[in-house]
Amino acid sequence: MGRFILKRLWQTLIILLLVSVVAFMLIQFIPGDPVYVMLGENISKEYHDTVYESMGLNQPLTTQYFNWLGNMLRGDMGYSYHFRKNVNQLIASRLPVTLTLGIISAVVSVVLGVFFGAVTAVKRGTATDTTLTVLANIGLATPSFWIAVLLVYIFSVKLGWLPAVGFTLPWVNFQKSIRQMILPVICMSMGGVASYTRQMRSSMLEVIHQDYVRTARSKGLPENKVIWRYAVKNSLIPILTMASTTLRGCIGGSAIIETMFNIVGMGQIMVIAINYCDYQLLQSSLFFMAGITCLCNLIVDIAYAYADPRIRLE
């Protein structure tokens, strides 16, 4: 087990190194002078030169890269010219927002998806199964921004029950936070619920036909115990590998949902950084988010190994 963790840790480090190269090189491909692209053509030559130098653009590429990487490792993520703030400050204020939304959505996706998936598999062939499977297929085909439009139209415009914009952290104002979070969370978790339902269903159907489930039945285990203790538990193992994809999806999805509900989070920052070519903000936030995803992957892999003795005891 220790060796397994060590191996994954080593792989994660390599991945992060590769991500840092990709994030860094990406920016180099933007055509034109980066400072003019970032701050517009009508800035003074002196200002341009100061910024150019302070960003270290006059140094060779490799030096730039290692400086940036060194700064990142020391915890200095650079300066955002668009927001006129340190990237550290920006991320510190916005990460909690995105993480709160992301984690809640991911949990909702997993819990509901696994539940629906288990139900459809157990009730295979019945009306419940058909209805839920059809709904899951529709959910998978529906763009999150469209469902957002629909929900805003119904619950904000027509009924006026829920706010269409804004976000408050739960520990600031709990009630307001919940009201503001309902719609974004539904939009962000819809796709996840749908895909977990489908995955769980096929995983369960596969496990139900395994020999050890037959063994469980042959020793007289009541059906509900066969389902819960054998089928559901064993089906969850492959589902676990999906968990990291969900988080990645939630972060990617936050770009859209945060823009729509005007939530000041990481997704919005990244969209802005891309639209305004805010170099250091883009590099650093890409690297930072990739780092978080890698960390989650690592946790998921370890959990996976822990849940499955076939891997743990290899």
Partner 1 sequence: MLQKARKFCTVLFSRKIVLVSALVILFFAICAIASPLMAPCDPYEQDLSRRLEGVSSEHWLGTDQLGRDLYSRIVYGSRVAFMVGILAVIAAAVMGCAIGLVSGYFGGWVDQVLMRLMEAQMSIPPLILALALVAVFGRSIPMLIFVLGVSAIPNFARMMRGQVLSVREMDYVAASRIRGNSNTATMVRHILPNCISPIIVIMTQSIGGSILAEASMSFLGAGIVPPTASWGAMVNDGYSYIYDAPLFALAPGVAIILLVLAFNIFGDGLRDALDPRLRGAL
Partner 2 sequence: MGENLLELRGLQTVFHTREGLVRAVDDVSLSVQPGEIIGIVGESGSGKSVSMMSMIKLISMPPGEIVKGEAIFEGQDILRYEQKSPELQRIRGGGISMIFQEPMTSLNPVMTIGQQIEESILLHLKYTKAQARARAIELLGMVGIPDPESRIDHYPNQFSGGMRQRVMIAMAISCNPKLLIADEATTALDVTTQEQILNLLRDIVRQTNMALIIITHNLSIIARYAQRIYVMYAGNIAEQGRSEELFYHPSHPYTMGLLRAIPRLDSDKSARLLSIPGAPLNPAQKTGCCPFAPRCPYAVDRCRQPVMPTPQIYSDTHRAACWFRREELHGGLALEKAHTHPVADKPLLEVRQLCKYFPVTKGITRRKVGDVKALDHVSFTIRQGETFGLVGESGCGKTTLAKTLLRLYDATSGEIIFKGQNIAPLKERHLRELRREVQFIFQDPYGSLDPRQTAGNVVGEAVRVHHLAKTRKEYERRIDELFTAVGLDPALKNRAPHEFSGGQRQRLCIASALASDPSFIICDEPISALDVSIQSQILNLLIDLQAERNLTYLFIAHDLSVVRHVSDRIMVMYLGTVMEIAPWQDLYEHPLHPYTKALLSAIPVPDPVVEANRPSAPIIGEVPSLINRPSGCVFHNRCPYATERCKKEFPPLQEVNEDHIVACFEWEKLI
206, 230 Cβ separation under 8 angstroms = no
Rule CB under 8 A: say whether 241 interacts with partner 1.
Answer: no
CB nearer to partner 2: give 282 or 300.
300
Paired residues of 79 in beta bridges: 86
Go through the chain and tell me how many residues it has: 314
Paired residues of 85 in beta bridges: 80
Proportion of the chain in helix, strand, coil states, percent, rounded to 5: 80, 0, 20
Stretch that binds partner 2, among 58-66, 98-106, 169-177, 209-217 (CB under 8 A): 209-217
Look up residue 192 and give its two tokens: 């996840």
Q: Which of 167, 230, 261, 288 binds partner 2 (CB under 8 A)?
A: 230
Separation between Cα atoms, residue 38 and residue 27, nearest integer Å: 11
| Partner interacting with residue 307 (select from partner 2, partner 1, none; CB below 5-8 Å by kind) | partner 2
Closest CA to 114 of 201, 52, 36: 201
104, 187 Cβ separation under 8 angstroms = no
As a whole number of Å, the end-to-end CA separation of the chain is 8
Stretch that binds partner 1, among 18-26, 77-85, 105-113, 215-223 (CB under 8 A): 18-26
* Total of chain residues touching partner 2, rule CB under 8 A: 26
CB nearer to partner 1: give 40 or 220.
40
Separation between Cα atoms, residue 192 and residue 114, nearest integer Å: 10
CB nearer to partner 1: give 55 or 273.
273
Helix (DSSP H) and strand (DSSP E) numbers for the chain: 14, 2
Stretch that binds partner 1, among 90-98, 175-183, 244-252, 299-307 (CB under 8 A): 244-252
Look up residue 5 and give its two tokens: 């963790």
Rule CB under 8 A: say whether 150 interacts with partner 1.
Answer: yes
Rule CB under 8 A: say whether 217 interacts with partner 2.
Answer: yes
Stretch that binds partner 1, among 86-94, 136-144, 168-176, 305-313 (CB under 8 A): 136-144
Q: Which of 128, 177, 202, 241 binds partner 1 (CB under 8 A)?
A: 202
Stretch that binds partner 1, among 59-67, 74-82, 142-150, 223-231 (CB under 8 A): 142-150
Stretch that binds partner 2, among 46-54, 88-96, 197-205, 231-239 (CB under 8 A): 231-239
> ∠ CA(308), CA(311), CA(314), 5° rounding?
140
CB crowding 88-107: b at 16 or more within 10 Å, else e: bebbeebbebbbbbbebbbe
Rule CB under 8 A: say whether 2 interacts with partner 2.
Answer: no
221, amino acid identity: L
SS3 at position 80: strand
Rule CB under 8 A: say whether 211 interacts with partner 2.
Answer: yes
Rule CB under 8 A: say whether 57 interacts with partner 1.
Answer: no
Q: By the criterion CB under 8 A, which residues form the site for partner 2? A: 3, 6-7, 10, 210-212, 214-223, 230, 233-234, 237, 307-310, 313
Q: By the criterion CB under 8 A, which residues form the site for partner 1? A: 11, 14-16, 18-19, 22, 26-27, 29-31, 133, 137-138, 140-146, 149-150, 152-153, 157, 198, 201-202, 205-206, 248-249, 251-253, 255-256, 259-260, 267, 270-271, 274-275, 277, 282, 286, 289-291, 293-294, 297
